[in-house]
Amino acid sequence: MDMTVRPRRLRGSETLRKMVRETRVDPASLIYPMFVMDGVNKVEEISALPGQNRYTVDRMGEELERLNAAGVKSVMLFGIPEHKDEVGSQAYAADGIVQRALRKARELDPELYLITDVCMCEYTSHGHCGVLCGHDVDNDATLELLAKTALSHVEAGADMVAPSDMMDGRIRAIRECLDAHGHTGTPIMSYAVKFASSFYGPFREAAGSAPSFGDRKSYQMDFHNRREALKEAFLDVEEGADIIMVKPAMSYLDLVREVRDAVDLPVAAYSVSGEYAMVKAAAANGWIDEEKIVCEMAVAAFRAGTDIYITYYAKELAKYMREGKLG
């Protein structure tokens, strides 16, 4: 056979495969999403997310120790308040659940990088990501509350804020508010390309944040759209975002690549609750090899161009990376 080009030549041994590998990974890229809730002395398992818990502030140290032992350096906090109301006032209360969790985390582990999800849906009685006007979310009225929430997180010790609400103009509103209060150095990671996705189902059970009527399609993106993803990404770059996120990850890696090629900011991909739950369920049935699938999913996200990977598997992945299981 007359062939000069034989791709198999470079696949002949593990040493050689590793030498020519195009995607290299590092635990420093991982962010762990963590749920904190009001109350005392409680750790609640989240049934739709086996292995994930909700912690009261006095018990969150247990998880922070595990993160530390695993070498995960960043968390993203989600708050579950005891009381919800029409305007989500616990989202921006100085002694709200996330604000208290931030102070506690800072005290327990001064080195841990603290990111907060900025949104209203866990705090509103109707479960929508902003304040309502009739049955619609009032975009501009919500901006002020989001900015207030972000500011209160930063004042309580957040290193970075990550707005996930998908209101128009929120990056500018948050940037202006943080700057006006002297927090010019606090980065914003924008959930810029966030789709109205059924992959968030388990999260909504975890956070009790499912909308009580309707859906999120008037603010989160239609998953049929690709050009619109770039429009959202460019807008947030212009408004002052420091990192652009694509969410979910697994079924949206085409857009991770598009965004990676189009903008020069760091890109984050969020492997959401539904992705985790599917892997757990299939693994529990013995249908897949959990560890190998988790590694493959992560490598695929990095290969697609993400710099940062937000995942409920952060602890496991950090360990697999150190063991060289991802290459």
- Contact positions vs ligand PBG (CB under 6 A): 117, 119, 121, 129, 164, 200, 203-204, 272-273
- Tell me the backbone φ, ψ of residue 74, rounded to 5 degrees: -135, 140
Give the contacts of 151 (CB within 8 A, at least 6 positions apart): 92, 177, 178, 181, 183
Three-state secondary structure call for residue 152: helix
- Cβ of residue 142: shortest distance to ligand PBG, in angstroms? 12
Q: Which positions are annotated as active-site residues?
A: 194, 247
CA distance 218 to 238: 22
Q: Which is nearer to ligand PBG, 90 or 273 (CB)?
A: 273
- Cβ of residue 318: shortest distance to ligand PBG, in angstroms? 18
Q: Which is nearer to ligand PBG, 187 or 327 (CB)?
A: 187
**Is the previous residue joined to 248 through a cis bond, with omega within 30 degrees of 0?**
yes
- Cβ of residue 33: shortest distance to ligand PBG, in angstroms? 6
- Cβ of residue 226: shortest distance to ligand PBG, in angstroms? 20
* Count of helix runs (H) and strand runs (E) in the chain: 11, 12
Q: Where are the beta strands (DSSP E) in the chain?
A: 30-37, 43-45, 53-56, 74-80, 113-118, 132-133, 136-137, 160-163, 189-194, 243-247, 267-271, 308-311
- Cβ of residue 117: shortest distance to ligand PBG, in angstroms? 5
Q: Are the CB atoms for 230 and 166 separated by under 8 Å?
A: no
CA distance 209 to 54: 14
* Residue number closest to ligand PBG, CB atom: 203
* Count of CB atoms situated within 10 Å of the CB of 45: 11
